[in-house]
Structure 1
């Protein structure tokens, strides 16, 4: 049997343990599907390339393995660019493989089907690297580059274009390099310098980001050794259980927590976080709460104490802030090394916080707006219906903004929110990828009425796959966050109250189950029921429901 470029791709993917790919068949991807049909890899059909790449993202977050999507050249690439950009912002290992016009036609602008004159350049700014395999052998070379990046660097997405003629031509099978480099560990001299600062500190605080996803155990040991409070970004939510006495949760954007980090701590240890503008984002509604406004610049912390910066990306360690010690390392390895170094002298540290951290948690919980109280009531019902390790995929919607702070998470990698790039339409397809990647594990999507319509067609894929997926629809009849900001700036509401469909009828037309709870207890009951169904359930919660007033 012929071994073509398409066959080489499939062989290489299987060699690295890939068991699922997401995409849409097209005339330019037929060379993928012939060998794919004979392989052990399952193909999940999306209804739009954007949905396919979001599914790959959700799968990667749920499994810790690369999420793979196979899509066509040209419009497939541009349709997938948004979720690729989201994966770039959130450091998710998505591997996007696309066809591209034949080598002899590249760069000529001849109007070939699906032609982009420089397809590689389209995704270059939103990937760890974007490459074109000009020979069959290069398919494996670029794939091992991608797998190495995912494992040993900040895991940005990768885009590989394969020309149509390379896909169809006979190629010599290449080696599958299963042994990959490990993540980098810290320089011992840097650990020693950081430990010296830690020993001298009396009020240290740990700021943990998404780079700590796999660093929960050593991070918790470090916090307990220092008796230091842990504040996380949204991407780092749950890396230390939020029920832990030292955890202040993902409350960095709340005024009381910011004061602790900026003005009260004499040492801030930032691990695996860019400390980017979205990490400090304050919604228009929550600005009205008494303690929500930032002290200084809304986009940047004003750190007054000493500063230790730990990140796998060297540039991040010195960007925006001047560190007293910079450590280039995987977060888990650095945290473990710090614990070991501090234990050399019997674990003696001079931390002497006299702050009541429980009082801070209570203050943050109390200083919320009336709308946020509605959100919290619903989110508490959702939490009560779910096991601790349930996967929750949330969209850019007001109830999810509140959930980023107030939804309790004790297991890392279970709250997923597109905080960086901020894409609408993320949650539904991402939750499909997550549910398929972790069968038997509870999985929920939280969407708003505006965001749902970005990717609503993927409900068909969820029905087709018979997923027991609760889709919690928060319906406020518009783009509530934008409307709030317009009002705050005395701008008349423009295009923020669009015409909505009848969501119950729309969901049922796809074959979904539906529910319209009449109480918070019914919200909990319907989620439990949905988790044991043979198809998705759209649970509609109107913001103006009587039981939420």
Structure 2
């Protein structure tokens, strides 16, 4: 007879069997059964200070490893707190699985602890799907469905809730992991040879490269080189094409004049990108030529940009097959024109947010190339996203889609947990840092060598600038900040406030070698 254990225990064992090594979360009376089996299963648990932080940690872990980030939360407020992180993971295509407890009965009872009207439906508004498991088999099936979909479809956050009594009830172990771990997405309506022919005869071929193209790096670089194509990168796609490639326009899609470059193209290939509002900040790229879209997500292939040819495929599969059909061509793009345009955009960035470029470059001088960086919604990061040369893809993570504040610190903790022998850094603004400052406690507990660049311009400067441009008298953009140095030290973290670029470089170098997190406090008054 097969041994039974509480279902909460069996779920942890199942996750371990499926390759989950770390779980982020906070225990409570409603989900404690999920915690009964964590240590027994050999899973490491990272204790967050807030469920939103747990979700961002899972997100950061997933971005660093490519594996699903898993979080355990309680009924009601625990789930509500993590929903912001679920929304961010959904919009940025990150595999995050949230498992929560839920009440056994809500329709006929009121006034229960942590009660919501419809917890399952609430979670569904910010993730790919949210379901309640009403049996052990359903719980196992939903976990496997989530893990398989992470491998075979566009990764999005998912939520599974299990009633408290069911978590406590005895259940047999989950079935062993299926050998069917992934399926290749085939070419649907894809005439890859037609794309090869179009690129061969194009005089101004242009690629728009998103984060989904990272897995095709080697083949994509060969394709771009063979057809003499110029390219743009989304923020998520930086590093796929070499930063110093002479025909790389960089991550300047949001610059209005990038539409004029698009208008020059006679064949555009958008690969692994939604071409979302947060990529373009306009409704049309500006092109008049045929648009080829290559994406794993059929929804992207039928969006407002209306590709002339839609190719439903993984980027790496499409590029491998394209290489077989591509004939080298001679494009008319000029490296000098690309370099000039990049200089123009750099100058625009400096005018819009003066002085930040020089600080960014002083910082970059001492950050290792293999560092993984997590940034928040702050002007310092906005500038860095445009001018920081990325030498490898998937090493700068920014909450572009949902655009939440408070992302950088907990996400960096998750990333550092995933890569303990490699450098990780966080970049946050003074306002957003306070959304998740409590997670400093987790970083201190973990002993993570984590430089945290804290940019304090004393206000919500981006909002103030936006108000002024809209001819609104700025209001509600200045808040009293704490003494960040003392606050960091109160958590047990290191803290330093460099006054010069030389001191900044020294502080960052020491922070990467420290035995805990270091808050590096910067203001616009820092001197060269």
Fold shared per TM-score above 0.5? yes
Tell me, in whole angstroms, the C-alpha distance in 2 between the residues paired with 1:205 and 1:109.
60
For 1:473-484, list aligned pairs within 5 A. 473-484=454-465
Aligned to 1:286: none
Change (3 A) 1:49 1:328: same
2:343 aligns to what SS in structure 1?
helix
Change (3 A) 1:520 1:75: same
Shift, 1:40, TM fit: 1.1
Does residue 353 of the first structure (1) align with residue 320 of the second (2)? no
Question: Which 5+ residue runs of structure 2 have no aligned equivalent?
Answer: none
Does residue 148 of the first structure (1) align with residue 152 of the second (2)? no
Residues 180-212 of structure 1: CA deviation (Å, up to 9, x unaligned): 123413248521232232233110100011211
Shift, 1:474, TM fit: 0.4
Q: Work out whether residues 137 and 173 of structure 1, in 8 Å CA contact, stay in contact via their aligned partners in 2.
A: no
Aligned to 1:158: 158
Tell me, in whole angstroms, the C-alpha distance in 1 between the residues paired with 2:95 and 2:141.
17
Aligned to 2:95: 93
1:25 aligns to what SS in structure 2?
coil
1:310 aligns to what SS in structure 2?
strand
Tell me, in whole angstroms, the C-alpha distance in 1 between the residues paired with 2:493 and 2:335.
50
Change (3 A) 1:299 1:402: farther
**Which of 25, 28, 31 pairs up with 1:29?**
31
Tell me, in whole angstroms, the C-alpha distance in 1 between the residues paired with 2:25 and 2:349.
42
Q: Work out whether residues 431 and 445 of structure 1, in 8 Å CA contact, stay in contact via their aligned partners in 2.
A: yes
**Which of 401, 404, 414 pairs up with 1:423?**
404
Shift, 1:172, TM fit: 2.0
Does residue 302 of the first structure (1) align with residue 283 of the second (2)? no
**Which of 319, 323, 327 pairs up with 1:335?**
319
Larger deviation, residues 128-137 vs 526-535: 128-137
Shift, 1:124, TM fit: 1.1
Aligned to 1:228: 229
Tell me, in whole angstroms, the C-alpha distance in 1 between the residues paired with 2:53 and 2:331.
48
Aligned to 1:292: none
Tell me, in whole angstroms, the C-alpha distance in 1 between the residues paired with 2:434 and 2:190.
53
Tell me, in whole angstroms, the C-alpha distance in 2 between the residues paired with 1:50 and 1:185.
37
Q: Work out whether residues 16 and 178 of structure 1, in 8 Å CA contact, stay in contact via their aligned partners in 2.
A: no
Does residue 49 of the first structure (1) align with residue 30 of the second (2)? no
Aligned to 1:125: 125
Aligned to 2:63: 61
Shift, 1:361, TM fit: 2.5
Does residue 134 of the first structure (1) align with residue 131 of the second (2)? no
Q: Work out whether residues 60 and 67 of structure 1, in 8 Å CA contact, stay in contact via their aligned partners in 2.
A: yes
Larger deviation, residues 116-125 vs 264-273: 116-125
Change (3 A) 1:215 1:373: farther
Question: Which 5+ residue runs of structure 1 have no aligned equivalent?
Answer: 282-297
Q: Work out whether residues 447 and 474 of structure 1, in 8 Å CA contact, stay in contact via their aligned partners in 2.
A: yes
Q: Work out whether residues 25 and 54 of structure 2, in 8 Å CA contact, stay in contact via their aligned partners in 1.
A: yes
Aligned to 2:260: 259
Tell me, in whole angstroms, the C-alpha distance in 1 between the residues paired with 2:311 and 2:165.
46
Residues 489-540 of structure 1: CA deviation (Å, up to 9, x unaligned): 2222211101111111111111111111111121111111000001111001
Change (3 A) 1:457 1:327: same
Aligned to 2:208: 207
Q: Work out whether residues 259 and 287 of structure 2, in 8 Å CA contact, stay in contact via their aligned partners in 1.
A: no
Residues 244-286 of structure 1: CA deviation (Å, up to 9, x unaligned): 333222111124433212x1111110011111111124xxxxx
1:335 aligns to what SS in structure 2?
helix
Residues 112-134 of structure 1: CA deviation (Å, up to 9, x unaligned): 21122321101112212111111
- Structure-1-length-normalised TM-score: 0.92
Shift, 1:178, TM fit: 4.7
1:514 aligns to what SS in structure 2?
strand
Shift, 1:340, TM fit: 1.6
Tell me, in whole angstroms, the C-alpha distance in 2 between the residues paired with 1:459 and 1:428.
8
2:495 aligns to what SS in structure 1?
strand
Tell me, in whole angstroms, the C-alpha distance in 2 between the residues paired with 1:523 and 1:533.
15
2:477 aligns to what SS in structure 1?
coil
Aligned to 1:72: 74
Q: Work out whether residues 476 and 544 of structure 1, in 8 Å CA contact, stay in contact via their aligned partners in 2.
A: no
Tell me, in whole angstroms, the C-alpha distance in 1 between the residues paired with 2:284 and 2:475.
30
Q: Work out whether residues 392 and 431 of structure 1, in 8 Å CA contact, stay in contact via their aligned partners in 2.
A: yes
Aligned to 1:526: 507
Does residue 318 of the first structure (1) align with residue 283 of the second (2)? no
Tell me, in whole angstroms, the C-alpha distance in 2 between the residues paired with 1:352 and 1:243.
19
Shift, 1:41, TM fit: 0.5
Residues 220-256 of structure 1: CA deviation (Å, up to 9, x unaligned): 1111111111211111121222123332221111244
